[in-house]
Chains A and B, each alone.
Chain A
Amino acid sequence: MTEVLHELLRGSLDHCVKCTICETACPFSNATPLFPGPKYAGPQAERYRVEDEPSVEWSVDYCSGCGICTQVCPQGVKIAELNAQARHKRKQESGVPLRDRLIARPTVLGRLGTPVAPLANATLRSRPFRAAVERAFGVHRDAPVPRFAGRTFRSFARRHSSPPASRRVVYFHGCGTEYYEPDVGEKTVAVLEHNGFQVEIPKQGCCGLPLQSNGLFDDARKYVLRLARALAPQARDGALIVGNATSCTLMLKREAREILGLADDPELKLVSERTYDVCELLLELHDRGELKTHMQPVNEVVAYHAPCQQQGHWIGKPALELLDLVPGLEVRELDARCCGIAGTYGLKREKYDIAMATGADLFRQIGASQAGSVACDSETCRWQIEHATNKPSAHPIELLHRAYGLPPAGADSKRSTLRGVMTRNVERVRNRART
């Protein structure tokens, strides 16, 4: 943490007029009294913090770091960022449990689980095993865990070559796509190529967001800088970086620079300025009349939930507007705040119930929407939603992929399938319900 950056964040507390808007919007303080709210933990408590006095707040650990407070603040206070600093200090002093160190490293988990996917998936769904893990590590037995795909997105990327085109983008796929949802990655690539992009997929790792949100700032810095180094060369050549994981792209765009104090790193700065959420990019394309809008009807009702960190991009909800282009598709915008998972927050034994209570409003809305499925930009949120509602979910890009009538993902892989996104996801949820 550079002092200068901290001073900038701290300086923003001067804008706070105590209006409490952030606390009405905070998904977590509304679900648990253990977190007294972003105003309390941010601009308010910050006035009581001195570098050389010990952290006295246990409650700040119950902040999930979702960032909604900063987004809704009409006065420009960096509330979530201040809270992240306080949480980091707290964790530094009280120590970070092994569990948090582990679940904050999706690449490690992914590498372990992928080669033995069927076994890993079965084990992770075994009640006795999960109970043991809960006792030993503090990962809640009911918390949603994704299924290893059994193959990595990388294996697709290595084989795949994008047809040359005038527009180049670098695809930042994130860990969720890499280990759990390679098909979403393939569809993203296909949709981009369909719209005239040449897609490059350099070797890449984790953005460090889970580490950051678990207070492991030093490790998070290493991860994000390594990623920035991997993406920077193409960015320097003028390519845009585009991702489908909104939390990870937000980490690159803003959070690493603001929360981890990396504002001055030139490569990260370059990457940050050139990073796009895939829906953001496609909507800009559409704005210029260059998005392909010839689509097949998708006669379904889908509920759309914009994840917290998608909202932290401060770009509105481009996915909504893209989905509006799909003929036949009826999109119900949900206005509930948060699903509760916040990356790794809802996995933790002591926070699982809070996470479920946080998401309760969203789950109710999904139930009431009569939609057959849920569209949402973030993979961890989708897993939580499926877990809580038993409804299938998809990334908005999957719906576009379908509307464009593009060949199904995995077509060039061993797991070739001809089923559409939703059908397969329905299957997936049914399987889960049975186990």
Chain B
Amino acid sequence: MAGLSTDVLVIGGGATGAGVAWDAALRGLHVVLADRADLGEGTSGRFHGLLHSGGRYVVKDPLAAEECIAENRILRRIAADCIEDTGGLFVTTPSDDPAYAERFAEGCRATGVDCEEVEPAEVLREEPRLHPGISRAFRVPDANIDAWKTAWALARGAHERSGARVLPYHAAEAIHRRGDQVVGARLRDVRTGDELEVEARVTVNATGAWAGRIAGLAGIEGVRVLPGRGIMIAMNHRLVNTVVNRCQMPTDGDILVPIRTVCVMGTTDVHTDDPDDQTVAEDEVQAMLEDGERLVPGFRRARALRVWTGVRPLFQDTKEGVASTRDVTRAHTLLDHAERDGVGGFVTITGGKLTTFRLMAEETVDAVCRHLGEERPCTTATEPLPGSEDGEHYMLGERLARREDGLLDDQLVCECELVTRRKLEEAMRRRGTSNLDDFRRVLRLGMGPCQGGFCMYRAAGIMHGLDGMSAEQANAALLGFLVERWKGVWPILYGDQLRQARLDDWIFQGVLDVGHLRE
């Protein structure tokens, strides 16, 4: 069995885990970062893409608001390329309690969240699809952030700075203890079944909603994470170009986030016992569409591409009832198991939100350093991530501009998201994976209106042309993508997307007859 030895083993490749790897690498530590799936495939990649200004929490949870605005300002500097500066709005729609607006403005003042009241007419000129009946509007520094791009930039940075090993598709099978000390873990490559022993001075459990399970592997009881699942709906194009929040106490279905070529409506909050619960409940979909109508009249007639479920990790150290998860604190939790359980070399970080991942990572690596007995100051607040050195934010038109440059010499594979053949082949060689869904996350391959209808056959064909790829693998990749995609498509399949799905079915089941590749 293969083996590795490292300073820090991070289990969990979401934004937090990748952030821990980056932070530790900047402090000169050697890191192994492992995830049972792809980076950002869990909660990090299953949110609406909102970089909070903190506005959402100014009334309900001022502490969270303060954390958010502080981290918002830092991330705009260090992760500029992962962020598009859309700005945000809080609007009082006819469905909202008008009295909340004053509390909101007061809360912004109290927490230091930048906020400027603007005329509804001005807002409607900028965002003509918004409900014409909005009575008040406030501008805040919300933005969007690409979680996959962020996670990979963090992991790449960790690798570049201190040779971090990044191991997607490596599940933690066992966590090894020597007495009261965690000394590493056994990982298994879920694609090949190969096992890998990792010896680590400190192991970080950054598995979010799954933290209880991983802590359990280390023999630690009572780490209770209460998963709250919420659905998000991606619309075919940007109905708004600014993040739009309803100006009311945070509730379901009150945010619309423009991110990349789509906009995402979120979200619901339903308690679940299983962090792998991907249920999309019918009534949640309907409720969300109604909420969409309240923000953007005609929302139901606009084209919905896809729906997905994200599971929030809400840490709870009490044994009380769990009927609603909305009131459990959003703030994150760091468990130093040496202090809590008398087990050294093991730290759990959970809870929190994507906007505060850097802060969570900082606190976590501070704890790691305490375990190591070393003074190593954190520099993540000032050090830009790879790709963000110039401090320029992402612009929506970037891909189109790049495509125009390559118009005459590079093939276009995914026409919706403008993924070129060169880009795809480069990623295929770099990643060495045969899972087309991985390229969806890093390149947005197949994420546009046709949902892979036209590009997935091309991608499978290109992949098969690369060295050492068998027809069976290419077929499995194609079929796997179709099966996976369908999960996010069918619960919200209506209107224009149903037209698309029927054409896609025609292509795959009719013209190509891929169903019979299964024989």
Contact = CB atoms under 8 A, between A and B. Distances in A.
The answer to whether A and B touch in the complex, with CB atoms under 8 Å apart, is yes
B399 A48 contact: yes
Q: Which of A43, A47, A59 has the most CB of B within 10 A?
A: A47
A15 interface: yes
B453 interface: yes
B408 interface: yes
A324 interface: no
A4 B499 contact: no
Contact of A14 (B236, B261, B397): B236
A3 interface: yes
Nearest to B417: A47
Contacts of B236: 13-14, 47
Of listed B128, B396, B407, B454, residue having the most chain A CB within 10 A: B407
A380 to B, nearest CB: 29
A17 B499 CA distance: 7
A36 B407 contact: yes
A50 B404 contact: no
A4 B128 contact: yes
B397 A56 contact: yes
A19 to B, nearest CB: 6
A48 B261 CA distance: 6
A66 to B, nearest CB: 21
A133 interface: no
Interface string B387-425: 000000001110111001001100000011010000000
Nearest to B304: A14
A81 to B, nearest CB: 16
A47 B499 contact: no
Of the four ranges (under 10, 10 to 19, 20 to 34, 35 or more), the interface on chain A belongs to 20 to 34
A191 B426 CA distance: 67
Interface in B230-289: 236-238, 241, 261-262
6 contacts: A10-B237, A14-B496, A18-B449, A19-B503, A48-B397, A75-B499
A33 B407 CA distance: 8
B129 A7 contact: yes
A60 to B, nearest CB: 9
A33 B408 contact: yes
A34 B261 CA distance: 24
A51 interface: yes
A57 B499 CA distance: 29
B136 interface: no
B430 interface: no
A16 B449 contact: yes
Given A16-B449, A48-B397, A53-B395, A39 B415 contact: yes
A18 B503 CA distance: 9
Contacts of B241: 50-51
Interface in A35-51: 36, 39-40, 43-51
A13 B396 contact: no
A58 interface: yes
A71 to B, nearest CB: 19
A3 B237 contact: no
Contacts of A7: 128-129
